[in-house]
Structure 1
Amino acid sequence: MSLPDGVTRRAFDGTQSLATTGEPVYGESTSEGWRQWVPDRSKLGAMFELGVDTGLAGGETVLYLGAASGTTVSHVADFAGPTYAVEFAPRPMRDLLEVAADRDRLFPLLKDARAPETYAHVVEPVDAIIQDVATRGQADVALSNRRFLRDDGRLVMAIKARSEDVTREPDAVFADVIDRLKTGYEILDRQSLEPYHDDHLAVIARPR
């Protein structure tokens, strides 16, 4: 699996790691303008480390759902094109605004990913939806935001089992979420994100 243009491997403190160019955000190591992409702190970074074929090539227009303080979406904006970053909580949004100040392709939106109609007037058609939301109804979030995704686009999703139902076995939760996703998406790949993230499943899909 090849990495997107703008993502490479560099040596940080003697260890090879994923890296993008840009201003540091979360205390990650830097070297000659490159910043380390720490997979333990990023579901997408873990996907790249594990060899998941995300379909991302670099330069895409991206809708990022669940941007939080900007740890992962900052790396995305370093290698992608226009990147719309949706985050619901005001406190991490303040951090995200600081991250965006150094990135002219990153557009923070203080919105709820479960209500895409509230930002439909802002977001253009996108090549990829990257989703990392810690809420019930993760499949419904992906389905409701499908309206923005081009016909040949990709959904790159990290399913968090404990956010759906902490009482059930993760594999059962993953199966239910995928069944729901199939009403609007064709599933291309799925892979556990262990050992980087427990009880998380990467899902790559395209719109039906």
Structure 2
Amino acid sequence: MSLPEGVQRREFDGEEVLATRGEPVYGEPVVEGWRRWDASRSKLGATFAHGLDTGLSGGDGVLYLGAANGTTVSHVADFAGPTYAVEFAPRPVRDLLGVAEDRGNLFPLLKDARKPETYAHVVESRLDAIVQDVATRGQADVALANRQFLADDGRFVGAIKARSEDVTREPEAVFEDVLERLREGYEVLSTDRLEPHHDDHLAVVATPK
């Protein structure tokens, strides 16, 4: 598996795990400037840990949808270029602003990822990547609505949360429905379940059609 430049496997307490270089954010261990990237707290971290080829590269321009309080997007900003972090809830955005103080390339946006027209004037077009981690029904719709920001050869890297779509159905059935909808605007390159790090989640790597 090829990791982006700026993401390495480093040893922490005798265990080799993912790490990025940057200021600590959530109490993670730091060794020689490298922050441990806890895959159990990060769907993207788990995606890397599971060996998926995301196509992400160091210096990429990234739109991160569902940034929450900045746990994962802080790692993304450590290796990426301009990183636009969209989060709907005001409380996490306050934390996100604190994370951005140490990262000049991280731009928090208090916006709804389902309404990209509200931040289209801020976010660059033809970005290298969209990373999506939203807990809402209609996750494929969010990905399709934000496809406009991706370069033709860009990558979508997302985590589908089955329970956010429908708690009454089996996750596999939910995943199939979401992927079918996603294929209306993307070519799905690879998928993988994220257990044991995250139950009922499916990692997806895709490129725009």
TM interval, shorter chain, is over 0.9
Report the Cα distance in structure 1 between the residues aligned to 2:71 and 2:95, rounded to whole angstroms: 10
What's the counterpart of residue 37 of structure 2? 37
Query: Aligned partners of 2:147, 2:58: CA distance in 1, in Å?
Result: 20
Which amino acid is the alignment partner of residue 141 of structure 1?
V
Match of 1:55, SS? coil
The TM-score normalised by the length of structure 2 is: 0.99
Overall identity of the aligned pairs, in %: 75
Q: Which residue does the alignment assign to 2:146?
A: 145
- How far residue 171 of structure 1 moved from its aligned partner, in angstroms, is 0.2
Partner of 1:154: 155
Q: CA deviation at 1:68?
A: 0.1
Aligned length: 208
The correspondence of residues 1-208 of structure 1 with structure 2, limited to 5 A, is 1-125=1-125, 126-208=127-209
Q: CA deviation at 1:13?
A: 1.6
SS in 1 for 2:174: helix
Q: What is the rounded CA distance, in whole Å, between the counterparts of 2:153 and 2:166 in structure 1?
A: 32
Letter in 2 for 1:181: L
Residue 57 of structure 1, CA deviation: 1.7
Q: Give the unaligned 5+ runs of structure 2.
A: none
The C-alpha deviation readout for 1:13-43, integer Å capped at 9, x for no partner, is 2211110000001111111111000000000
Q: Return the letter of the residue paired with 1:183.
A: E
- Secondary structure of 1:145's counterpart equals helix
Task: Give the aligned residue type for 1:81.
Answer: G
Structure 1 distance, partners of 2:122, 2:36, is 31
RMSD of equivalent CA atoms: 0.5
TM-fit CA distance, 1:144: 0.2
User: Structure 1: which 5+ residue stretches go unaligned?
Assistant: none
User: Structure 1: which amino acid aligns with 2:39?
Assistant: P
> 1:73 Cα deviation (Å)?
0.2
Any idea what the Cα deviations from partners look like across 1:111-147, whole Å, max 9, x if unmatched?
Answer: 0000000000000021100000000000000000000
> How far apart are the structure 1 equivalents of 2:77 and 2:5?
12
